[in-house]
Amino acid sequence: MYSLYLLIKNGIISSLPNDSSYVEVQIGSLKTNININKLMKIKNSNKKVTNISKNSNVAINKSKTISPEINVIGLNIEEANQIIDKYLDDANLSKLETVRIVHGKGTGKLRQGIHAFLKTHPHVKLFRLGTYGEGEMGVTVVTLK
């Protein structure tokens, strides 16, 4: 197991990197996938690690600035929801209150799929379509918990 320092929370890396260089990290009851490139070695850690060959002490180098908007135009629902899930995790860690998801107007299928996904997402407090000047039907504004 790996010891993590995530902003102010400790966590455990519970998997080796997959083909996309993501590892599963558990912080309390929250499990998320994080790119291995977002991790860095901790120089002085109080945690003792067994099995040195597979384990190390690491910290997540998470930027406090993340874009308040993500564009998923042209993706299918499954691809968009995977990207949005990761984005909402990052936005939550960065303490953003609201974010914008740009999905375009099109036929409305992508918007419907994203809204169905947002209804069940643990970081989402509420969401609405954009108003005049925000992108209207082509944008969903999400308020995070």
Q: What is the CATH number of the domain that holds 104?
A: 3.30.1370.110
46 plus 74 within the same structural domain: no
d(CA 32, CA 134): 30
Q: What is the pLDDT of residues 87-97, one digit of tens each?
A: 998 888 888 89
Q: Which of 12, 41, 60 is the last residue of a domain?
A: 60
* pLDDT value of residue 27: 59
Query: Quick one: how far is CA 69 from the chain centroid?
Result: 13
Q: Do 88 and 127 reside in the same domain of the chain?
A: yes
Q: What was the pLDDT predicted at 95?
A: 85
Q: Which of 60, 80, 104 is the last residue of a domain?
A: 60
Residues 107, 135 share a domain:
yes
Residues 83 and 46 in one domain: no
Same domain, 56 and 73: no
Do 16 and 81 reside in the same domain of the chain?
no
Alpha carbon dihedral 88, 93, 98, 102, in 10-degree steps, equals -30
Residue 85: predicted pLDDT: 92
In this structure, what are the phi and psi dihedrals at residue 17, rounded to the nearest 5 degrees? -60, 140
Which residues, in sequence order, are CB contacts of 138 under 8 Å at separation 6+? Answer: 102, 103, 104, 105, 130
Those residues whose C-beta lies under 8 Å from the C-beta of residue 68, and which sit 6 or more positions away, are: 91, 96, 98, 99, 100
What does the block give as tokens for 31?
Answer: 């499990």
Shared domain for 53 and 79, answered yes or no, is no
Instruction: Find how far residue 18's CA is from the centre of its chain.
Output: 17
Are 19 and 73 in the same domain? Answer: no
Residue 20 tokens read as 């996309």
> Residue 80 belongs to what domain range?
69-144
- Nearest partner of 86 among 104, 103, 106, 101, judged by Cα: 101
Asked if residues 48 and 39 have their Cβ atoms less than 8 Å apart, the reply is no
Number of domains in the chain: 2
- Looking at the predicted structure, is the pLDDT value of residue 58 above 80? no
The helix (H) or strand (E) run that includes residue 102 is strand 98-102
Rounded mean pLDDT, 80-105: 91
